[in-house]
Amino acid sequence: MDNLTTQLLAGNRRALARLLSQIENQVETAAEALAQLHPHTGRAWIIGVTGAPGTGKSSLVNALAQGFRQRGQTVAILAVDPTSPFSGGAILGDRIRMRDLSGDSGVFIRSMATRGSLGGLARATRDCVRLMDAAGFDVILVETVGAGQSEIDIVRTAYTTIVVEAPGLGDDVQAIKAGILEIADVLVVNKADRPGAQQTVRALRAMLELGHPVARQVSHHGQLMTVGEAPVSSALQVEDWSPIVVETVATEKKGIDALLEAIDAHRAHLQGEAFVKRQRQNIEVELLDRLQTALLERLNRSLSSEALRDMIDQVRQRQLSPQAAVGMLLSRL
Amino acid sequence: MSKRVPRVLIAKPGLDGHDRGAKVIARALRDAGMEVIYTGLRQTPEMIAEAALQEDVDVVGLSILSGAHMTLVPRVREALNASGLNDVPIMVGGIIPDEDRAPLSALGVAGVFGPGTSTEEIRDFIERLVAAKDANG
């Protein structure tokens, strides 16, 4: 077995740090290391933390990690920030909010740039989580980039997804739009000491009720009838789970116990059949992703620029439709 | 195919609260296509070494404007070495009197950048460091 992988399994933090870089840099030997480590993964509970910029994700991760540490669990944190589309560089500043965790050998924090990936995570995030899992951490917290309405890759990486909201970011129609709120297992209203926090909590609860109706009896024209007994679950929430809304003030560590309990409840819910199902879905998405990437790379290699230029001219001269040109290019693969 | 991106830790040890210089450098290195881990103010040498290890950085940049560089830099070097990071170079930016340059070099500081240094100079310096590191495996 490769030296670094052996060291990683023995708990060497620098070996972990170096392998993380190798994966990010797509070094050839990284695939081999991952193959060796794969049997050692599957033990950690993976928690995603996502939400709009400025809602307090890093502070919440800081407070959550402290909470897990007080329970005696070890924590790895993967904090993703955006790469500049212009220079390819990035400023990774999530550690600023995680000072409380420094000096604790039960915590490992790694900052990561998206490197051009658009779904709120980097392409290498999944594999980096795997390394941390193999290194033996009990809990892995993955903080996404400041996410808007469509950065939902996290749900296919994490087991429990926390969506962080803050007061004053939108009305109740924002809350029922499609997107990020649909992926929440736990919804956090952070900065709950700010004005408007209660409205945000109410809007979120009302939104959840539309999607997960609570069975209740109402009197309608004197008739007692039951409404909304069948919960409607979206495609992403297959486990028939009603998201929990938690209020926190992360910088003051308020509401963190309630948040930990909500995570516990979701984890307890996601056991047995449901967990197998969730894992299968995640792996299916990952395999298809990887297949797509590999096929695209093969395509790029096999496609000669002359052949492409030839096709372009034929389409330009109206001798060939774009559809037919693609068909011909594909058939040469 | 490997896609190497230089990683740089920019930290402010000690107690002075002037982080504009550090931010200007962080921003310039970002624009030069590097990944900058920015850790903020008042970092202890131990915190810097911990971050350098976890983030697997190619170089540690210290911004010191308090005049305490002759005490802080050796302590950061010791903390890095204690974490097994003997091979991670330090560069220092800030108000550094000329007579302190030689002693800092003797402590193993790879580069000292005073006021008036162009950001291009610092970028080129890091690119050379990273190229040399990769050449040595």
- Which of A92, A97, A115 is the best residue to mutate to test the B interface, defined by the most B CB atoms within 10 Å of its own CB? A92
Q: A205 CB near a chain B CB, below 8 Å?
A: no
B31 is a domain residue = yes
Sheet strands side by side (includes A107-113): A107-113, A75-81, A139-143, A45-51, A160-165, A186-189, A244-247
- Which of B39, B59, B126 is the best residue to mutate to test the A interface, defined by the most A CB atoms within 10 Å of its own CB? B39
Q: Are B114 and B96 in contact (CB under 8 A)?
A: yes
- DSSP summary character for residue A269: H
pTM of the model: 0.88
Minimal-distance CA residue of chain B relative to A297: B1
Whether A96 and B40 lie within 8 Å, measured CB to CB: yes
Residue carrying structure tokens 């790029």? A300
Closest by Cβ to A26, choosing from B2, B27, B32: B2
Whether B56 and A21 lie within 8 Å, measured CB to CB: yes
More confident residue, A30 or A208: A30
Single-letter amino acid code for the residue at A31: A
Q: Which pLDDT tens digit goes with each residue over B1-52?
A: 467 899 999 999 987 778 888 999 999 999 999 999 999 888 999 999 999 9
Q: How far is B58 from chain A (nearest CA, A)?
A: 11
Strand partners for A239: none
Copy the structure tokens of residue A208: 């959840």
Report residue A41's pLDDT band, with 50, 70 and 90 as the boundaries.
Answer: very high
Closest by Cβ to B53, choosing from A13, A84, A99: A13
**pLDDT higher than threshold 60 for residue A43:** yes
Whether B38 and A91 lie within 8 Å, measured CB to CB: yes
- Which of B12, B42, B55 is the best residue to mutate to test the A interface, defined by the most A CB atoms within 10 Å of its own CB? B55
Report residue B116's pLDDT band, with 50, 70 and 90 as the boundaries.
Answer: confident
B2 is a domain residue = no
B26 to chain A: which residues are within 8 Å by CB?
A: 91
Closest by Cβ to A87, choosing from B33, B38, B40: B33
Query: Pick from B50, B61, B110: which is nearest to B84 by CA?
Result: B50
Query: Pick from B87, B42, B50, B46: which is nearest to B68 by CA?
Result: B42
A86 to chain B: which residues are within 8 Å by CB?
A: 31
CATH code (residue B12): 3.40.50.280
Angle at B122 between CA B23 and CA B104, to 5 degrees: 95
Closest by Cβ to A84, choosing from B4, B30, B40: B30
Residue carrying structure tokens 């924590």? A75
* pLDDT over 70, % of chain A: 87
Quote the domain boundaries for residue B63. 7-135
Average confidence (pLDDT) over A141-169: 86
**pLDDT higher than threshold 60 for residue A233:** no
Q: How far is A233 from chain B (nearest CA, A)?
A: 40
Most confident of A148-152, A167-171, A187-191, B21-25: A187-191
Report residue A220's pLDDT band, with 50, 70 and 90 as the boundaries.
Answer: low
- Relative to beta strand A223-227, strand A216-220 is antiparallel
Give the pLDDT confidence score for residue B61 in this predicted structure.
95
Minimal-distance CA residue of chain B relative to A21: B56
Whether A89 and B34 lie within 8 Å, measured CB to CB: yes
B1 is a domain residue = no
Give the pLDDT confidence score for residue A232 in this predicted structure.
41
Question: For chain B, what is the domain count?
Answer: 1
B35 is a domain residue = yes
Whether B39 and A18 lie within 8 Å, measured CB to CB: no
Give the pLDDT confidence score for residue A231 in this predicted structure.
42
Give the pLDDT confidence score for residue A49 in this predicted structure.
95
Report residue B57's pLDDT band, with 50, 70 and 90 as the boundaries.
Answer: very high
B122 is a domain residue = yes
Dmax (CA) for chain B in angstroms is 45
The ipTM of this complex is 0.92
> For all residues of chain A together, what is the average pLDDT?
87
Q: How far is A232 from chain B (nearest CA, A)?
A: 43
- If one counts every other C-beta atom within 10 angstroms of the C-beta of residue A96, the result is 15
